[in-house]
Structure 1
Amino acid sequence: MNKPKIMVIDGNSLMHRAFYALPMLTNKKGIPTNAVYGFVNMLLKLIDEYKPEYLGVAFDKKGPTFRHEVYHQYKATRQKTPEELIPQFDMLKKMLQLMGVAIYETDGYEADDILGTFARISSEKGIDAYLVTGDRDALQLVSPGVKVIITKKGISDVQIFDVDEVKREYGLTPLQIIDMKALMGDSSDNIPGVPGVGEKTALKLLYEYQSVDRVLENIQNIKGKKLKENLTKYRDQALLSKRLATIVQDAPVDINVEDCCYELRYSGDLHAFMEELGFYSIIEKLGFKKEGDPLQKPRSDRKTVIDINTEEELKKMADTLSKAGKTAILVRDGDITLANDDSKLYRINLSGSSDIDGLNYVQAIKGLRQIFESEQVPKIVYDGKRLILDADKCGIRVKGLAFDAYIAAYLLDPTASRYELKNLMYQYAGIDTDDVDAADLYILSRKMREQLEKTQMLKLYEAIEHPLIYVLSDMEIAGFKVDRDMLVKLDMEFSSEIESLTEEIYRLAGEEFNINSTKQLGGILFDKLKLPVIKRTKTGYSTDAEVLEQLRPYHPLVEKVLEYRQVMKIKSTYIDGLLNVIDPNDGRVRSSFNQTVTATGRISSTDPNLQNIPVKVEMGRRIRKVFVATDEDYLLVDADYSQIELRVLAHISGDPTFIDAFINNQDIHRRTASEIFGVPLEHVTPEQRSSAKAVNFGIVYGISDYGLSRNLGISRKQAQEYIDSYFARYPKIKEYMERIVEIAKKQGYVTTLMNRRRYLPELQSRNFNIRSQGERLAMNTPIQGTAADIIKKAMNDVYAELKRRNMKSRLILQVHDELIIDTYKPELEEVKDLVVKCMENAMDLCVPLVVDIGTGSNWYDAK
């Protein structure tokens, strides 16, 4: 007959393990949760694997222990518990209480001692004990009825020790682990041991003499003069170390094994607490269901499934749904499902997705043409851009998208790393399934729409984000023409420049070496040239960009290395990169424009990233020459907002002096220089204007005196004087910055003028640097986010106007505050006029939005 099992966990050990193993996670209120999340996942895994009848978690109690009384330096070298971890202990204890898990802690003793006491009691009662910890000291507790589970890498890798496993790994009995620690000490607990005795020597002594006491009795027989001297000199220290390393098994803690009887049951309070922490995947794993939720009926009870396997069945379904009104469409790897309510599901089986042959993907998409192209069939989708792009490859133009759950999920939680459908289903609709289908999506759209309305973002979705799906899709389909011959020519020029820089670097170094090797470059700079060492890494000298910038004045070699790196990066990233992605059919590159990546709402670009082409250096700007108009009948129109973020700042802050500068069409940087340096506008020097520009844009990003001093190469004192002078001249801006931080702290998020939300968990951090970052984000997000909303609105309007007028000209790129239109020459003046009107009227601010516009046969000339 199997004995009952009790599992006792060292709570402190596993919490630290989980904290360092997982990235920083927070709930929507910004409270750190990663350690609790990792602990609970580990706990559930252990319960599932070992199925203990009894369960308990032991914690260290704050304050000194009996070990500190006998040795005040005990654990003195331990690092302080991270600020983000401290509040998670109370969260975990609440979670365990709600789960029905017994918790133990007692004054003057550690969690190890409680584990030891459980080991003794369980053995006396004939119960098999499993002790879970990351501390190998606990191996001393192993016995025929006690096993120790040691956490290794991360939170999922463990090693289980019984008596044989201890013997196999150490060649010792469990109790000899104490003697080993007594001899070699333990740096993690600051147990001193005997100087000069490491694990190898300790094991050798124990193999011969069995215990520390017998080692000390036989010092005269031990070989090695220094070892003999140390054992003699530090005899008392060895015995003290043994006492410190010994886990007690009679801690004064009230233990009744029956109190540890464990069976996880549904609890509304537990469910609510897990939702509060954002542990939706754990809720799903536990199979919790919201009581009374009609969506929790078995899926087979909710819907009828109709399989579509032939073109004839596909046509019949398309005919039916094209007359049925709103339809949800979900495309997955194995099938396409469609539903016009939550009771009937059509499933198109794709080839290879089941035992049935089914249809291939292209057949399925083409068979849905009448649904895709009909404005009269509003379509609910997940990732509409992907659907539009796939349909376009089949010669189909998708119309009538009604709702995109992917975009809605981004708006509701813009800092999430992923938007998995199954998690969204549970989070917003209460549907617990790994097999999400279109009928589920139909329900999800309704729930998410309600949430958008509740958070006052429905208008943002409908006016900005939803129409943008079509705009970005069309931009990707259009692509940007690249002059391959010019790109190849640039490649040769850059290669020549790299060769020239390499030779110059070798000359200045006095020898050849691998410039791309940090180790070799460090040897040249610091060992040979004796330049000051700024920073070290684990493997040697640091030669990162920040270090090289500080070393620039010391030797001309540094300047050349910086140039070399810059040219190499431009060549590898943009020249080599672009050559690899040019479409051989039409000579265009097609970047992916991402609508759901940045927390501020800005659009990003990947594969290739056309938004990060360096423009501050001429070699970077030259890359823009390879981006050209379609052919000789076209020109590029480049329309760029002038200082849009500063104009938004003027509007949001309401500062009259700042507003006045824009209304009177003054150079805002010159005006700011005039204000903070106290000189007339006409006497502002270029250097003063440059400093004022750095202050203007720095203020938008919540810059500190340190950051500004680094940007301008001035002292922190002078930088702070600039900032103080700025706020003295623009007091409403200072008031706004202070006010928005307080609002963010109170409500946990900030909003743009269009009500886009960004949650700021950083503001709840106990870490000063993280909290300061949160404050900067609170200041900047409403400004940068509103600028993003404005450019998106302009894109929508430009796209719609070009379509309405049936023009050949096409919007092909957006880079921050800049739009590029591939313009048919006969439409040039009309395009310039409509683009300026759309951009300048995208949002009504108290200051004018101003657009600078240029034209050219390539991007470089148009800019």
Structure 2
Amino acid sequence: MSLKRFMVIDGNSLLHRAFHALPPLQTKDGIYTNGVYGFLTMLNKIIEEYSPEYICVVFDKKVPTFRHKEYTEYKANRAKTPDELIMQFDILKDVLKKLNITTLEIDGFEADDIAGTLASIGEKEGLETILVTGDKDYLQLATENIKVLITRKGITNLEIYDEQTVKEKYGINPNQLIDLKGLMGDKSDNIPGVPGIGEKTGIKLIKEFGSLEGIYENLESISGKKLKERLIENRLQAFMSKKLAKIVTEVPINVDLQELRKREPDYDELIDLYRKLEFNSLLNKIRKNTEDNQASDDLADIDCNYEIVQDLGVIDSIIQSINKNKSVYLKFIQEDKIIGLTIKTETTKTYYIDLIEEDFKEKVLLKLKDIFEDENIEKKGHHLKEDILILLKNRIHLKAISFDSMIGQYIINPSQNSYSIKELAKEYLSVYIKDEDDILGKGKNRKKITDIPLEDRAKIFSVKLEIVSKIENLVKEKIQKYNMNELYYKVELPLVEVLAFMEFEGFAVDIEKLKELGEEFESKMTELTEEIYSIAGEKFNINSTKQLGYILFEKLELPVIKKTKTGYSTNAEVLEKLKGEHPIIEKILEYRRIMKLKTTYVDGLLSLVDKKDNKIHSTFNQTVTTTGRISSTEPNLQNIPIKTDEGRKIRKVFIPSSEEYKLVDADYSQIELRVLAHITDDPNLKEAFYNDEDIHTKTASEVFNVPKSDVTPLMRSRAKAVNFGIIYGISDYGLARDLNISRKEAKLYIESYFAKYKKVKEYMDNIIKEGKEKGYVTTIMNRRRYLPELKSRNFNIRSFGERMAMNTPIQGSAADIIKIAMVNVFNELKKRKLKSKLILQVHDELIIEAHKDELDQVKQILKSQMENAFKLSVPLKVDMKIGDSWYETK
């Protein structure tokens, strides 16, 4: 017959383990929660696995114990507990209270003493006790019915010990481990032991003499003069160490075992607390585990009244409702083609319109066209760029977007991993829904949407649209609370339409020129391959790390920079350090550079060209970067190389779509430095832009203390590195590396810069301080970036946070300005009904495919809208170039 289980958890040990195992986690209010979250994850796992009848969590008290009185240096070597962890103890105890789990802490004793006493009580009561901890001191308590569950790595790897497994591991009985600690001490607790005796010697002595007492009773039998001397000299210390290491099992505990029975949580209070702590996955676990519990009613599935539509007559009824409400929620479902459309108003059920049949789809779209294009009917949804694109391909223009939940959540928290409806349902409604990934699967085995029954399809997508309607006001309230209305309604929402049109228009590619470039790169790679073989004295696979490692470090005997588990490292960093050591290194670096151009850009672009129009239709991502910048994928047009002649050739293949058009490239001049001047209000920096000076020449003059006329190209180049480095919070180490100078010289440059631009230094210091106090920094449009890293005790993490605090308001503000410019340029082109189209944005530049008859208008629109996008205290300046390829505009 199996025994009932009693689980005793060392709260201090597990909370420490969880805190250090997980990255920093903060709520919007700046509450650190990673330790508590990790603890609860472990707690749920072990409760699920071991199903205890009784449970208790024990803690240390913040007062000295009897051990401190015995030995004042006890645990004196422990580092100060991080503030981020200290604040989580009370939070954890509050959570445990809501879980109805008893916690114990007693003056004068440590958590392990309380746990040991409870284990002793449990054993006497005929229970199987499981002690959960990360502290191996507990192993001394192991018996047949007292087991120790040790956390090994992270928060999921646990190892269980009983009396037999302790014997197998150490070769001695569990109760002899305190004798071992008496001999070898314990560095973690600052227990001294006998100097010079380690685990191996200690175990050998205990096996021979049975205990510490036995060893000292038989000193004459111990061989080894030095060992005997150490034991004699440290006798008192050895017995004190044993006493310190022994876990007390007779702590006066005023608690009845029945009080420790596992009980149901107080769900109402627990749900409220989990919401406050933003523990969405734990909220969902409650929902799953308590489906019949009234307290979890608010965690039940979304109540969604939906109807499948396959009749045109119902479409007329839907149109009437939309016209009456003057707003509509919508989402198209598309795989290879349009499959369906979910649509609803604030007052109607959700309709899933089945659009599999092509003829029915055409008729439905024709009926809904006027609704979609009516500027007086608000359109609401999630990731509406997808829907705009779908409709554009069907010659319909979706207008009047007033709410997009994905965009709203992005500006609320730009660091979030996912903005899916599933995630938003968890966050705002504490509801777990199954989305298409859960049902269809992922990767190669993913089913098609059409493989699942129509009824299931309708429910999945109807529920998702229902969620969008339910969270709309909650998202808007947060946007209002964070003072982001202007950012949302004037910048980000209008930008959705702009990006959709840019994707739809695409960028024309000269296919033949791209193929020729591929052949040129292939030829160059072949040439380099032969040169490398000749230098190496043999043929080998240049792309094989193992073979290249052999050639470089064994045959050519170059100095080994770094090794991996599988052999020599030959990565770019290693090869850069080896430059100058041997002529083969430069050839290999050049080979790799050309190969990347060939595979990533030539082959990559060829695979992505749309054969219908010979264009690249890149995807522009609005919710990826934490600074607010737009990124692009498939392909990443922002990464087209420009630093080498070969790289710049890639831009030659990007051309206007016909001979009637030219490319106009408008590039902000030093926008980030202008933003820096505006934000810092530095008079010296502002003066340069007022006078339209070369800012890098001016900085060189200031830093090197020479007249502007005496500034050399090298001085200007170094000043440029300082100017842009300051924006990114560069250190003397980073600047030294970039300029290949000493750290001392780099430090002097930075100090000279701050001496001349005092307000910049003042701003940098203040923004870090502000970031620490608020937990975030903002841009000129009040865009937030949360920086929990600023409060980290880890120097590298904290330094990263400080650099981001300095950079984000500048880079993010520049992103705000370019987005405003994009919206204004797009609207002006549309307003004038021009044939010219905005087709690309790359960092600080816009590219328009301009009709030759409209060139003057386009130039005027770009200059006016870009330079007046935002009123800075210094002028914004735009440089423009026109060409027959992207290459010609640079």
Q: Scaled by the length of structure 1, what TM-score is found?
A: 0.84
Tell me, in whole angstroms, the C-alpha distance in 2 between the residues paired with 1:857 and 1:8.
75
Moved more, 686-695 or 315-324: 315-324
Instruction: Give the gaps of 5 or more residues in structure 2.
Output: 435-459
Aligned equivalent of 1:277: 277
Assess, with a 3 A threshold, how the Cα gap between structure 1 residues 719 and 166 changes in structure 2: closer, same or farther: closer
The one-letter amino acid of 2:391's match is A
Assess, with a 3 A threshold, how the Cα gap between structure 1 residues 397 and 147 changes in structure 2: closer, same or farther: farther
Aligned equivalent of 1:344: 349
Aligned equivalent of 2:454: none
Assess, with a 3 A threshold, how the Cα gap between structure 1 residues 76 and 389 changes in structure 2: closer, same or farther: farther
Aligned equivalent of 2:525: 498
Assess, with a 3 A threshold, how the Cα gap between structure 1 residues 165 and 309 changes in structure 2: closer, same or farther: farther
Counterpart of 1:581 (choices 608, 611, 621) is 608
Structure 1 position 856, deviation (Å): 1.6
Tell me, in whole angstroms, the C-alpha distance in 2 between the residues paired with 1:5 and 1:363.
66
Structure 1 position 759, deviation (Å): 1.8
The alignment partner of 2:639 has SS state of coil
Moved more, 104-113 or 605-614: 104-113
The alignment partner of 1:666 has SS state of coil
Aligned equivalent of 1:859: 886
CA contact (8 A) 2:821 2:869 kept: yes
CA contact (8 A) 1:55 1:261 kept: yes
The one-letter amino acid of 1:55's match is I
Is 1:593 the equivalent of 2:594? Answer: no
Tell me, in whole angstroms, the C-alpha distance in 2 between the residues paired with 1:265 and 1:475.
53
The 5 A counterparts of 1:748-787 are 748-787=775-814
* Cα shift readout 1:801-833 (whole Å, capped 9, x = no counterpart): 222222222111110001111222222222222
CA contact (8 A) 1:330 1:337 kept: yes
Aligned equivalent of 1:323: 323
The 5 A counterparts of 1:16-55 are 16-19=16-19, 21-30=21-30, 32-48=32-48, 50-55=50-55
Aligned equivalent of 1:471: 498
Tell me, in whole angstroms, the C-alpha distance in 2 between the residues paired with 1:762 and 1:387.
37
CA contact (8 A) 2:329 2:379 kept: yes
Moved more, 557-566 or 175-184: 175-184
The alignment partner of 2:866 has SS state of helix
Aligned equivalent of 2:398: 398
* Cα shift readout 1:491-541 (whole Å, capped 9, x = no counterpart): 222222223333333444445444444455455545555555555555555
Tell me, in whole angstroms, the C-alpha distance in 2 between the residues paired with 1:306 and 1:148.
53
Counterpart of 1:793 (choices 808, 817, 820) is 820
The one-letter amino acid of 1:717's match is K
Assess, with a 3 A threshold, how the Cα gap between structure 1 residues 633 and 25 changes in structure 2: closer, same or farther: same
CA contact (8 A) 1:318 1:370 kept: no
Is 1:121 the equivalent of 2:121? Answer: yes
* Cα shift readout 1:728-764 (whole Å, capped 9, x = no counterpart): 2222222222232232222222221111122221221
Structure 1 position 173, deviation (Å): 9.0
The 5 A counterparts of 1:144-155 are 145-151=145-151, 154-155=154-155
Tell me, in whole angstroms, the C-alpha distance in 2 between the residues paired with 1:229 and 1:267.
66
* Cα shift readout 1:564-585 (whole Å, capped 9, x = no counterpart): 3322322222122212212222
Aligned equivalent of 1:569: 596
The alignment partner of 1:854 has SS state of strand
Structure 1 position 30, deviation (Å): 4.9
Structure 1 position 176, deviation (Å): 9.4
Tell me, in whole angstroms, the C-alpha distance in 2 between the residues paired with 1:318 and 1:817.
44
Tell me, in whole angstroms, the C-alpha distance in 2 between the residues paired with 1:229 and 1:482.
85
CA contact (8 A) 1:136 1:150 kept: yes
Aligned equivalent of 2:386: 386
The 5 A counterparts of 1:504-515 are 504-515=531-542
Assess, with a 3 A threshold, how the Cα gap between structure 1 residues 558 and 198 changes in structure 2: closer, same or farther: farther
The one-letter amino acid of 1:403's match is F
The one-letter amino acid of 1:743's match is E
Aligned equivalent of 1:222: none
Is 1:814 the equivalent of 2:841? Answer: yes
Aligned equivalent of 2:872: 845
Tell me, in whole angstroms, the C-alpha distance in 1 between the residues paired with 2:639 and 2:545.
25
Assess, with a 3 A threshold, how the Cα gap between structure 1 residues 641 and 843 changes in structure 2: closer, same or farther: same
Counterpart of 2:698 (choices 637, 653, 671) is 671
Assess, with a 3 A threshold, how the Cα gap between structure 1 residues 348 and 500 changes in structure 2: closer, same or farther: same
Structure 1 position 779, deviation (Å): 1.7
* Cα shift readout 1:673-696 (whole Å, capped 9, x = no counterpart): 122222222221111111111111
Structure 1 position 386, deviation (Å): 1.7
Structure 1 position 594, deviation (Å): 0.7
The one-letter amino acid of 1:712's match is L
Aligned equivalent of 2:438: none
Tell me, in whole angstroms, the C-alpha distance in 2 between the residues paired with 1:22 and 1:363.
54
The 5 A counterparts of 1:82-231 are 88-89=88-89, 91-105=91-105, 111-134=111-134, 141=141, 145-151=145-151, 154-156=154-156
The 5 A counterparts of 1:236-251 are 249-250=249-250
CA contact (8 A) 1:310 1:358 kept: no
The one-letter amino acid of 1:827's match is E
Counterpart of 1:825 (choices 845, 852, 860) is 852
Q: Scaled by the length of structure 2, what TM-score is found?
A: 0.82
The one-letter amino acid of 1:579's match is L
Aligned equivalent of 1:681: 708
Aligned equivalent of 1:486: 513
Structure 1 position 399, deviation (Å): 2.0
CA contact (8 A) 2:779 2:813 kept: yes
Aligned equivalent of 1:354: none
The 5 A counterparts of 1:687-698 are 687-698=714-725
The alignment partner of 1:755 has SS state of coil
Instruction: Give the gaps of 5 or more residues in structure 1.
Output: 220-225, 352-356
CA contact (8 A) 2:6 2:53 kept: yes
Assess, with a 3 A threshold, how the Cα gap between structure 1 residues 534 and 320 changes in structure 2: closer, same or farther: same
The one-letter amino acid of 1:326's match is S
Tell me, in whole angstroms, the C-alpha distance in 1 between the residues paired with 2:286 and 2:687.
60
The one-letter amino acid of 1:495's match is E
Assess, with a 3 A threshold, how the Cα gap between structure 1 residues 591 and 83 changes in structure 2: closer, same or farther: farther
The one-letter amino acid of 1:718's match is E
The alignment partner of 1:322 has SS state of helix
Assess, with a 3 A threshold, how the Cα gap between structure 1 residues 857 and 111 changes in structure 2: closer, same or farther: same
* Cα shift readout 1:401-454 (whole Å, capped 9, x = no counterpart): 220010000011111111243443454467676674434322311222122122
Assess, with a 3 A threshold, how the Cα gap between structure 1 residues 364 and 247 changes in structure 2: closer, same or farther: farther
Tell me, in whole angstroms, the C-alpha distance in 1 between the residues paired with 2:56 and 2:92.
13
Structure 1 position 796, deviation (Å): 0.8
* Cα shift readout 1:689-739 (whole Å, capped 9, x = no counterpart): 111111111111121222111111222222222122212222222222223
Is 1:440 the equivalent of 2:475? Answer: no
The one-letter amino acid of 2:103's match is I
CA contact (8 A) 2:728 2:804 kept: yes
The alignment partner of 1:7 has SS state of strand
Aligned equivalent of 1:732: 759
Is 1:706 the equivalent of 2:706? Answer: no
The alignment partner of 1:398 has SS state of coil
The one-letter amino acid of 1:414's match is P
Tell me, in whole angstroms, the C-alpha distance in 2 between the residues paired with 1:678 and 1:706.
23
* Cα shift readout 1:620-645 (whole Å, capped 9, x = no counterpart): 11111121211222221111111111
Aligned equivalent of 1:604: 631
Structure 1 position 838, deviation (Å): 1.5
CA contact (8 A) 2:312 2:364 kept: no
Counterpart of 1:451 (choices 478, 497, 500) is 478
* Cα shift readout 1:601-634 (whole Å, capped 9, x = no counterpart): 1001112111112211222111111212112222
Structure 1 position 834, deviation (Å): 1.4
